[in-house]
Structure formats: structure tokens, C-alpha cells
Amino acid sequence: MNDALEPGRLAEEQAALRRVATLVAQGAPRRSLFTAVAEQVASVLDVRVVSIVCYAADGTAIEYASVSDRGEFFPVGTRWSLDGTNVVAQVRESCRPARIDDYSGLEGPIAEAVRSAGIRSTVGGPIVVAGDVWGVMVVSSTEPEPLPADTEARLTDFTELVATAIANADARAEVERLADEQAALRRVATLVAEVVPPSELFGAVAEEAGRLLRGVDVTVTLRFESDTAGTVVGEWGDPDPAGFLGDRLTLEGDGVAELVLRTGQPARIDDYSKAGGSTAALVRAKGVRTALGVPIIVEGRLWGAFILAARVAEPLPADTEARVERFTELVATAIANAETRAEVERLADEQAALRRVATLVAKGVPPSELFASVAEETGRLMRADGAVICRYEADGGASVVAGWGVPDVADVLGTRLTLDQGGVIAEVRRTGRPARSDDYAISAAGPAAVARSRGVQAGVAVPIVVEGRLWGAMFASSRQAGSLPPDVEPRIGEFTELVATAISNTQARTDLAASRARLVAASDEERQRVVRDLHDGAQQRLVLAVVKLKMARRALDEEEQASSGLVTEALQHAEQANVELRELAHGILPAVLTSGGLHAGVGALASRAPLPVENDVSVGRLPIPVEATAYFVVAEALTNVVKHSHATRAVVTARVEDGTLHVDVGDDGVGGARAGGSGLVGLGDRLAALDGRLHVESSADGGTLVAADIPLPPQAPRA
């Protein structure tokens, strides 16, 4: 009879398997499929209870499907602890079928539940999906006799079908997930290609990632502003966002954002109740229980973080970081593209501003107009709230000579700043290098207090150096602490160089005008001297000679004896007039210089000096303008030695090196000579006409050295 029943049992079992296989092939929903499988197993194996249990990542098990002839023994969704002895734990540990024929005396929550349900024996078969134990199918009997010995083998056919169904469902879910992810990425990529505003892009990415990733309630795009701060630039939430958009967060603690900022790597916190810091407290107040963050890397530098959070304690899936990275890469591309476009536009604007300033410099506009233009161009280009140009004064302070953007600019111009209480302008004067302050709230006095009273919170000062000398500083300010870009100093430096050029040109024009005026005045004085000397000297002698000759002619006509004396006297006057004319000519350019060169000319000056003068002139004949200029340098220097130095001796040296004549006049006097004296200033002007330079060294009790360098024309002698 058993043999007759066997074919019927096999046919029934095969029919049940076919019905299950049909459901699997049709892609029936997982829970309804598992319930149907449990019903078929209960019918075919003639058991009272069938359960399908899946293993959770936290080491527990979850009731996934349950059928019996007496209703629901174990509610679906029940989470089981695997402590104690039970077939669910045994199957997980061994990955093989397991059975328990008698639960009496066994410990553990599952054993207690089984005994409470009146179950005497159980058999469990593993459900293996892609090589991993997904769960277990458990059949139970309330009969005293154990389940048949072939139960494990017969159960295997059904667990394999369940595994196939799970694998198929997972594959379909993965395909759908990948399709959804690719669609979301395409939408984001389209926004990147369309160059939408950053705020729109960040918001779209936050929403796409939030809707795509299972278990996420809030997403945030955070831009790092410094080592301790970040600004929320994008946000999405279901049903509500966290409400941080636009907020500047202090990143001091051990939350997800802080971890990403410090490490530059993805980070997650599965229990935010353990996170410390002010930002973590804000996050907890928004109901966040778990979160993870992925860095946004733009061209090799850490730009910000993309953060996902959930309001339930369940950890986010393990592959979430990898999936989020695909979005952050698109965000990074968009940021890099935007920054490249912004950099090109910035460079174009900067070059245009520099050209406008350079044009004003070339036109030689008045300094006040140029300074005002530079302040405005700099302030607008650096996106500053204000810009001023300060000139350092001899008394240690500074004066504001131009301003833009600050309230009541007219009141600022001409303001005197005391620099003895610090500040970036004082720092520039002290070091000669750029200086900045990102938070004026920590400065209590001095120019910082003045700036703070006008709403300034941060500032950068860059030196203005004119011909190697610190002239002043350009100061750019912001009403928001820490907002000035890190590259603002070199960019402002390009404008300060133009300012320095303009100041140098203005000073050169001023010096040239003064030099020309002095040369004109000297020429006028020389002409007046010549006229005076002619009028008072040689002219009077010649007039007397003419008068005497006329008297001698009348005497000769009258044959008077006095005619001979008159002629003699007239001759004497004429000869004296000739001597005075020669002396006058020598005063303009001495004959000994024109005939004997610089060595002879210096020798003549030394011979007339009332103190010993060593003539160490070792040059031959030079071009006449060079010899004359060198001669007058020596003559003026020796005159000053005699008049002012109280020296006991002087030394004159002259040599030619590298195409330049070097003339030095030194003494051992009391020193204290000033390069600004009228005689030396005139020599400086005369040297400047030959591209030469005058240098005076004179310290108290250290003597005086007057040095002149005169370039020689290319065809002039070199030795």
C-alpha cells in the first residue's frame, strides 16, 4: 500500500513544485509568493506550521511568512533573537539543514515560543541566494512523533525555488535600481551641461539622491568655508527638509560633516545620540538618528560634503557611499566648470580694470583722480565692500588719500590714522609685506576700531612701494568676517604696482620741472654775473681807454706834450680790460681744464685751496661735457670743504670703470653735509643731464664724501 501511495505523493509534490515554479516565473510579489510556498509545503509535507525566516544584518532573524492550520502562529515581521538552541540559529551557523525532535528543556526565545505553540519537532532548510544564506524555511509538527526522515530532502526542492525567486526578484530590483540611478544621474548631468545656477543644481542633486536612496529622509550639500565652518548650499527632505539651507554651520565636534572635513574620506554615524558638538546637537534636534557623508573633491581639493540622514535608527545600506559618489562626481564637475568660467571672467575683468588704470597712468592724470579710480577698480574687482589708499607720513601715521565703497567717502578722505595700536595697515608699515585680518571683532583699538565702527569685519592691506621705498598701502575691506578670498593679496598687488608707477612718474615729472627751473635760474644768474662783471670790469676799462685815446688824439692835434701820457694810460686800461676778459672766460670754463684735462683742472683747484688736497685723478682726456661736469663737482665739493667742514685735508680721486667715470671728493672734517644744499642740488641737476648720479655720505665727526658717477658715451675713452 505504501508503494501504491508513493507515486501519488510524488505526483502531488511535483504538482506543488510546478505551481510554485509558475509563481516564480511570473515574478509574483515576494511576500505573496512566500506565503504560497509555505501553503504548498504545509500541504505536501502534511505539517501543521511552515515559516519562512530571513536573517538580518544585526544578527537577528525576521518572520517573513507563516502559515498553519490554526491561524498565524508567529506574526509576520516578528524579530527573533537567535540566542539559545533552535533550528534557525543552527542553519545560520552550519548553512545546512537542521532538525530538533524535542524542544523540552531547550532555552532561548525561539525555543520558548515553539513550546508555547505546542510544537514538538522542527526541521529547517537553508535558503541560499548567490552563495549566501538568505534565510531558512522551517516546518513544525505538534505530533509526538518526529517529522519523517526525508523531510530535509523534500524541503530542499522548495527552498531552491524560493532562492530562485529571491535571486530573480533581487536581479529585477537591481536592474530597476540601476535604471532609476542612471536616469537620476542623466537628469543631473543634463543640468550640469545646461550650466544652471549652482543653487538650482545643488537642490536638484539633493532631491535626486534623496528620492533614489532607500531609507534616506534628508540630504544636504555643504560647502566648506574654512577649517571650522561650512555653508549649506542645497537641501531636500521627505516630508520636510532639515531647514539648514543658507545657514553657516560651525564645524567643531565629531559629527559626519566634521569627520569628512578632517579626513577627506566618507564617514558615517549610525547613532547620532553619541555625536558631540553644536552642529550634532542641531542635527539631533531635527530628528536625525543616523547619517553618512561623502566628500566633494574639486580638482584635487576638498570643496565640501554631500550628507544623507535618516530619522530612524536603522543604518543606511552599506553601498550608499559608493552610490552617492556618482552624484558627487557630477557636482564636482559642475563646480569645476563653474569655477573655470568664473576664473576666466575674473581674469578678463581684472585685465580690463588694469588696462583702464594703466591708461590713466599713461595719461598722467592728477594723483587724486588716479587714486580714486584705483580704489574703485580694486574694490569692485575683489568683491570687497570698501577700498582705501593710505599714504605713510614721516610722523609714523598714515593719511587716507582715496576711498571707495565705504560710507561717507568724503569724510574718510584726508583722515589721519594713528598706527601705534596695531592693525593691518600698521603691520604693512612694520614689515613691508601684505597683511590681513579675518575678524576685526578681536581688535579693540586703533584703525581696526575705526574700521569696525563703519561696519568692517575683515580687511587686507598690500604695500605700495615706490622705487624701493614704502610709500603707502592699499586696504580692501569686507563687512563679513573671513569673506575675502585667499588670493586677494597678489591680485591687489598688480594694482599697487600701477599706483607706484604713477607716483614715480609724477615725482619724476615734478623733479624734472624743478630741475629745469633751477637750471633756468642758474643760467639767468650766470648771465647776470657775466653782464655785471663786464659792466663793472672790462667795459669800464674799455670806456676809459676810449676816453683817454680821444683825449690823446686832441692833444696830438694840438701838439700838446700830454698826449704821450694819455696814450700810455689808455694802453694800460686796454691791457687791463684784456686781462679781466680772460679771467671772465676762465670763470666760465678754465683754460687749464680745456688744455690739460681733468687732472690739470683738479691740480689748479688744489693749488688755490687753503688746505692740502691730494690729486688722485687717473684718467686721460674725456669728452668736454664730462670733464666740465666732473670739474664743477670737484670745485663745488672743495668749496664746501673750505667753507663748512673744518677739515685738515681732502682727497680727490677719479677713475673709469665699466664705462663710467667715478669721481670722489672726501675730507676729514666734522661732517653733517646735506645733499639738499643749493650747490649740491645744482650739481645733481647737471649730472642728471648726463644720466649721472650724485651721492653724499656725511656723518657727524666722520667726514664727508661727495661721489659722482657719470656714464661715458660709447665712443669715449675707457681708461
Q: What is the DSSP string of 298-345?
A: ETTEEEEEEEEEESSSSPPPTTHHHHHHHHHHHHHHHHHHHHHHHHHH
Pick from 307, 312, 310: nearest CA to 324? 307
Q: What's the half-sphere exposure (Cβ side, CA atoms, 13 Å) at 425?
A: 32
State the amino acid at position 187 in one-letter form.
Answer: R
State the amino acid at position 158 in one-letter form.
Answer: F
Q: What's 69's DSSP letter?
A: B
Rounded distance between C-alpha atoms, residue 713 and residue 656, angstroms: 12
pLDDT at 718: 43
pLDDT at 100: 93
Question: 549652482: which residue's cell?
Answer: 198
Cell numbers standing for residue 614: 691730494
pLDDT at 294: 93
Angle at CA 302, nearest 5°, toward 268 and 459?
A: 125
pLDDT at 291: 92
CA distances to 205, 423, 691 from 196, rounded to whole Å, are 12, 42, 61
pLDDT at 526: 60
Our measurement of the distance from residue 20's CA atom to the centroid of its chain's CA atoms, rounded to an integer in Å, reads: 67
Cell numbers standing for residue 278: 553644536
Cell numbers standing for residue 188: 543631473
What is the DSSP code string of 625-648? HHHHHHHHHHHHHHHHIIIII--S
Cell numbers standing for residue 358: 594703466
Encode burial over 307-346: b for 16+ CB neighbours within 10 A, e otherwise: bbbbbeeebbeeebbebbbebbebbbbbbeebeeeeeeeb
- State the DSSP H helix or E strand holding residue 109, giving kind and residue range, or none if neither: helix 109-116
| Mean pLDDT of successive 10-residue stretches along the chain, which has 719 residues | 51 68 68 79 84 88 84 80 92 93 89 87 91 90 89 86 76 71 80 80 84 86 88 87 86 91 92 88 89 91 92 84 86 78 71 81 81 84 84 87 71 76 83 82 51 70 89 84 75 83 73 60 59 64 71 70 70 69 59 84 89 93 86 88 89 93 92 70 76 84 88 65
Cell numbers standing for residue 224: 566648506
8 A C-beta contact, residue 174 and residue 277: no
8 A C-beta contact, residue 34 and residue 162: yes
pLDDT at 185: 78
Pick from 180, 138, 143: nearest CA to 54? 138
Pick from 487, 486, 426, 488: nearest CA to 451? 426
Q: Look at the alpha carbons of 551, 556, 557, 562 in this order and tell me if their dihedral is positive or negative.
A: positive
pLDDT at 587: 53
- State the DSSP H helix or E strand holding residue 429, giving kind and residue range, or none if neither: helix 424-431
| Beta bridge partners of residue 49, listed in sequence order | 68, 140
Phi, psi of 167 (to 5 degrees): -60, -45
Encode burial over 9-22: b for 16+ CB neighbours within 10 A, e otherwise: eeeebeebbeebee
Angle at CA 661, nearest 5°, toward 686 and 706?
A: 60
- State the DSSP H helix or E strand holding residue 540, giving kind and residue range, or none if neither: helix 539-557
Q: What's 98's DSSP letter?
A: E
pLDDT at 534: 64
Encode burial over 453-480: b for 16+ CB neighbours within 10 A, e otherwise: eeebbbbbbbbbbbeeeebbbbbbbbee
